[in-house]
Amino acid sequence: MNKLNFPSYTFRLKKSGNRTLIFDQLRRKYVSLFPEELVRQNMVEFLIRERNFPSSLMANEVEIVFGEMRRRCDTVVYDSSLRPILIIEYKAPTVEITRQTFDQIAVYNTKLNVRFLLISNGLTHCFCVVDQEKNQLSFLRDIPRYEDLFLDTKKEV
């Protein structure tokens, strides 16, 4: 597997039969270690350690319902009032981030109406601000710190 575009972190791993499991600190349980899951665990660790995101305001595998359909957001980040502010979508490192990836996360956002979206395949991270009025995305060069997400909306994060 390619080296991911994150600092080096240590994770709790264990074997279960022929599967390798990784401990998910947000779900507080071991989950199967697939490539996409490794991206998730690295991003969560990065956000907590490097960008000051409170783990208590983050959740993995958040279910959203569209009529009869049920979908899961990979990670949702909340503000201190528990309103969703960021949806994160993960892909395996071998999966290119395309317009379809953004379409998927945009569908989730029709339900959660967040201000920020983040998509990562572990190699490339795309962080954007959603302008609901203009129905457009503005991409940032870097992933901001948690506290910077609450700056005046007229200023660039």
Q: Is residue 145 part of a domain?
A: yes
Q: Is residue 31 part of a domain?
A: yes
pLDDT recorded at residue 152:
60
In the chain, where does DSSP find H-type helix? 35-50, 99-112
- Reported as a single tens digit per residue, the pLDDT across 52-74 is 999 999 999 999 887 888 889 99
Q: State the 10-residue block means of pLDDT for the chain, 157 residues long.
A: 86 95 97 97 98 98 87 94 96 92 85 94 95 85 95 54
Q: Is residue 7 part of a domain?
A: no
pLDDT recorded at residue 154:
44
Q: Is residue 24 part of a domain?
A: yes
Q: What's this model's pTM, rounded to 2 decimal places?
A: 0.91
Domain that residue 104 falls in: 13-150
Structural domains counted in the chain: 1
CATH number at residue 54: 3.90.1570.30
